[in-house]
Structure 1
């Protein structure tokens, strides 16, 4: 079983390209970086009850509404595509991914070009992990209607796939449309959907995804039959989809459990910090590489 890592890369942590080199040198299979363009200070939306944040010692943000706080790393997050492009230039084998990118909040023509360029520079090593978001104020600032965010994300991904695939790409939808157009480079980009198990997510994976990133990794055994059924209904072969537990804090028992489910890769959560703080943690995780 392969083991990757994910960390909130910020302007105060070890540089993403240095982290990628260190992870590759130690035998980790992947590096995933999250995305938040900004965090409105209102804090009307509470943080998700998930291990998305690594809980660094950078402090917490307290907004102008209520007592909700948030780890400061959310507001300091680097753009993942830019950071991963830097990582691509100094690595050769490690998979580089977003975990997760928010396509509903991104203009798809520009994002498709950025992703295709990154895939070109990375020589096919990029994976697009995506999700639908949790911060209503952040989405609203991008013009996203919260109730429509899943539909908007879907159209943006389908439009980007057309641009990556077709010599002359065209797309007509409710949220994005463009006339027949040329756009290079072309790219084969795996798309993994993050989120909790449920019919909406599994239907989306079956329609336009290549796999599932269950955040934290809980509930996979119970969810596998439902994901298989969604794929079969959509005419997809379930065996072609990846399930990659994401943001996991490792233990030998947990990794053995995932292996018993046929899981082939797990992405481990790394607490953000300086180079001096993070590299010893990577070294401590190396023992799981020999047992995975």
Structure 2
């Protein structure tokens, strides 16, 4: 199991100098990866689709740009992988996105993981001037353009949304043939796309029966496409709500003591390439608290699991 943390970029952590210092400290703890998130705004009225109509945390209204924050993290670290979980890829033309991601891969000396998704907030699409309808097709063509830019010497693309004439687009990413692409999503269509054309799934900590049902869709799609599902990575994100007292076992996929949350994360990790992503930005208020809690997660996740897997 690999261990990652969120890049500090929201709320009280939305200061690039603080972000740089904290990324350096997180790498020193021994983690494997750091990941940015992506928000454009936090509506004052409860946005459609947010946790059953609950109010969105106000600190999401204060945020650093994800790609620029990754550049800060790249400059402040030397070893850890750097990814996005998730980058809302449809808010900019894919050729522009490819240029930015290529630059990040070069800045980080080949440490970039491209994690992209559709997003879930209609209000952000409206503010960005991007149609809410047709998001799946827009993502498919975005992936086509990224492949054309990164895999071809002469870049050309003709599609329903974008046209690129025969062109030279250099430089290429340091990673060959391209940086790994991981896709987010929690529907059958999203998991089918993961299995068919991605390098992995940006998942989340969730009840195990739900997780196994979703993952089986990706496995079957990979097999139909002639791909080996064992080669797909999985990154399990948890927006941890850390408590001092033990929480209800039904909630430990996102809420509980450090030990409870870590036990659930370990129960989901079945392959050496599986990774956990612990986001501490909603449960801490200062760099010191964030880093102390990150150290606690590192220590706990390094311990052998006490979870007994059921015999099936």
With the length of structure 1 as denominator, give the TM-score of the two structures: 0.85
Give distance in 2, aligned partners of 1:17 and 1:284: 21
Q: Structure 2 residue aligned with 1:105, among 85, 91, 116?
A: 91
Q: SS in structure 2 opposite 1:147?
A: coil
- Tell me the equivalent position of 2:309: none
User: Quick check: 1:7–1:270 contact (8 Å CA) kept in 2?
Assistant: no
Q: SS in structure 1 opposite 2:114?
A: strand
Identify the range of structure 1 (213-222 vs 159-168) with the bigger mean alpha-carbon deviation: 213-222
Q: Structure 2 residue aligned with 1:79, among 53, 56, 65?
A: 65
- Tell me the equivalent position of 1:60: none
Deviation of 1:160 (Å): 1.8
Matched, 1:193 2:196: no
- Tell me the equivalent position of 2:103: 117
Q: Structure 2 residue aligned with 1:172, among 131, 153, 158?
A: 158
Higher relative contact order (CA 8 A, sep 6+): 1
Q: Structure 2: give runs of 5+ residues left out of the alignment.
A: 241-257, 305-312
Q: Structure 1: give runs of 5+ residues left out of the alignment.
A: 50-66
CA deviation string 1:91-114 (max 9, x = no partner): 111111111101111221211111
CA deviation string 1:61-115 (max 9, x = no partner): xxxxxx9632122221211110111111121111111111011112212111110
Q: Structure 2 residue aligned with 1:267, among 265, 270, 277?
A: 277
CA deviation string 1:24-44 (max 9, x = no partner): 100111111111233455655
User: Quick check: 1:48–1:134 contact (8 Å CA) kept in 2?
Assistant: no
Identify the range of structure 1 (247-256 vs 147-156) with the bigger mean alpha-carbon deviation: 247-256
Q: SS in structure 2 opposite 1:245?
A: strand
Give distance in 2, aligned partners of 1:123 and 1:19: 20
Matched, 1:291 2:291: no
Deviation of 1:145 (Å): 2.1
Task: Give runs of aligned pairs for residues 34-73 of structure 1, distance below 5 A.
Answer: 34-39=37-42, 43-48=46-51, 69-73=55-59
Q: SS in structure 1 opposite 2:101?
A: helix
Identify the range of structure 1 (239-248 vs 217-226) with the bigger mean alpha-carbon deviation: 217-226
User: Quick check: 1:112–1:163 contact (8 Å CA) kept in 2?
Assistant: yes
Deviation of 1:129 (Å): 1.1
Q: Structure 1 residue aligned with 2:19, among 10, 16, 39?
A: 16
- Tell me the equivalent position of 1:216: 205
Give distance in 2, aligned partners of 1:79 and 1:204: 27
